[in-house]
Structure 1
Amino acid sequence: MRRVAMMRATFPDALVTGHEPLIPAMTNDPKDRHVLAAAVRADAAVIVTTNLKDFPSAALAPYDIDAVSPDDFLLNQLELNRIATLTCVVDMAHARNRPPVRPVELLDRFSVIAPQFAEEAKAQILNQSEPSPWLIHQRREID
C-alpha cells in the first residue's frame, strides 16, 4: 500500500480512470484487457510488460499501441537520452537507503527483467574512454 501511495504522489497524472467501459471491446488476453483499455483511455503509445504474449499486435493495432519489454523500453530511453537515463539510475540508487545501494548494484538488480539495458548502462557508466562531465562528476558515486 505504501508503494502505491508513493507512486500516486510521484506520478499524479498516471492514474487512469474511465477505462472500464472499454474493457469488453478489447481482444487481447482476458486477464489483461483492463491494461489495454487503460492504455487506450490514456492515449498511450506503448505498454511496457514482461508478458508480451498477452498483448498480440492484432489486438493493439486498432489503437496504434505497441507492447515492448522493459529491456527494449529502457534501451530505447538510453538511446534517446543517455544522460537523463543514466542520471535516473544514479538518482534511484541514491534514493535507496534501506539498505543503501550503489548504481552498479541497482543495475545488477535490473538485469532480472532488463539484462541488455543493465549491461549497456553499466558499460556506458564504467567503461567510457572519454567520460562526459556528468560522468566525471558522478564517478565517485557510481563505482
Structure 2
Amino acid sequence: MTASEPLPPGRPERAFLDANVIRGQLTNDILLSMAARDVFEPRWSQQVLDEMRRNRPPGVPGDRIDKRITAMNRYFPRAMTSGHEGLALRMQADDKDKHVLAGAVHSGSEVLVTDNVKDFHPPSTGPDKMRVEKLSRFLNRKLEENPGRVQSALQDLVRRNQRDPRTMSALIDKMAGQPELRAFAQKLNSVVPPDQRGTAEVLTANQRRSAQSIALDGMADARGAVASRPIAATGQQKNSPSIPQRDPYHDR
C-alpha cells in the first residue's frame, strides 16, 4: 500500500515496526498476536522485512524466516508500506535508518517501535513528527491502556503454541529471560491472576523489593506521625517517644 489514510476515531494506534523488534520469534509472536486483537495496527516496509531476514537470529535458516514473512503479509495485508523512498533524504535519522523513519511517516503511523531509539531524531511537530519508543516501553504502554485485550492476545499465543511456552506463566518466565522483554514481563506479572504468574527469580525478586518498599514507606509514615505529635508540657518538656531503628526484614 502507499500512504495510509488517517486513523478514524476509536481505531487502534498505528505502529511502524522496525526490523530489530520483529526479527526474533518471541517478540514477533507477541507483537503480531496483539495486532490480531486490534491492540494496534502494524506497519512495515519491504526494506524492513529484508533487514529482518538479513539479521535473523543465529541458526535460523532463511527459508524459515521467508515462511514467517509470507504469513505476516498474508494475515496483515494492509501492513506493507511503499512509496516512501522519496522522503528518506529529509528524515532526521542516522543514514542507515532514514528509510525506517520515512516508512513510519509515510504510513501515517503514530509511533515507531525500535530498539535503536538513539538513531532517530524526528521533530515533535510538523508533517514529519513521529514518536519513537523502545519495544519494552511500547508493550508496557499497551498493557496500561488495554490490559484485558493484551492478556487475551497473549493467551491466544500460548494456545497456538505446540511447544513451550504453552501457559501464561511459562511465557512470562521466558520473557523475563530476554533483556528486551524483561520490563514487560515484570509489569505483566503484576497484572495477571496469581495462578498465571511467572516464577523466574528476576520476577520474584522484583516483587519482594516492591513489598519491602511498601512496608518501609509505611514505617516512615508511622515515624513521621509520631514525630509530629505535640509534646506534653508539664513544667518540663518530656522526651518524645523513641522509634526502634531496626530492620523488620532481618530482625525476626
Tell me the TM-score normalised to structure 1 length: 0.80
- Any stretches of 5+ residues in structure 1 without a counterpart? 128-138
Cα 1:40/1:54, change in 2 over 3 Å: same
2:142 corresponds to 1:64: no
Q: CA deviation at 1:48?
A: 0.6
Tell me the TM-score normalised to structure 2 length: 0.47
CA contact (8 A) 1:75 1:117 kept: yes
Greater percentage in helix: 1
Tell me the residue number matched to 2:76. 11
Higher relative contact order, structure no. (Cα contacts within 8 Å, ≥ 6 residues apart): 2
Tell me the residue number matched to 2:190. 123
Tell me the residue number matched to 1:54. 119
- Any stretches of 5+ residues in structure 2 without a counterpart? 1-65, 198-252
Q: Aligned partners of 1:12, 1:64: CA distance in 2, in Å?
A: 25
Q: Aligned partners of 2:89, 2:154: CA distance in 1, in Å?
A: 38
Cα 1:70/1:12, change in 2 over 3 Å: same
Tell me how large the CA RMSD over aligned residues is: 1.8
Q: CA deviation at 1:73?
A: 0.6
Cα 1:79/1:99, change in 2 over 3 Å: closer
How many residue pairs get matched? 128
Q: Give the number of the structure whose alpha-carbon radius of gyration is greater.
A: 2
Q: CA deviation at 1:117?
A: 1.3
2:162 corresponds to 1:97: yes
Q: CA deviation at 1:11?
A: 1.2
2:133 corresponds to 1:33: no
Tell me the residue number matched to 1:133. none
CA contact (8 A) 1:94 1:100 kept: no
Q: What SS class does the counterpart of residue 47 from structure 1 fall into?
A: strand
Deviation string 1:75-133 (CA, Å, 9 cap, x unpaired) is 11111111000111111111221455322222233332122211111221143xxxxxx
Q: CA deviation at 1:16?
A: 0.3
CA contact (8 A) 2:165 2:174 kept: no
Residue 27 of structure 1 aligns with an amino acid whose one-letter code is: Q
Q: Aligned partners of 1:99, 1:79: CA distance in 2, in Å?
A: 26
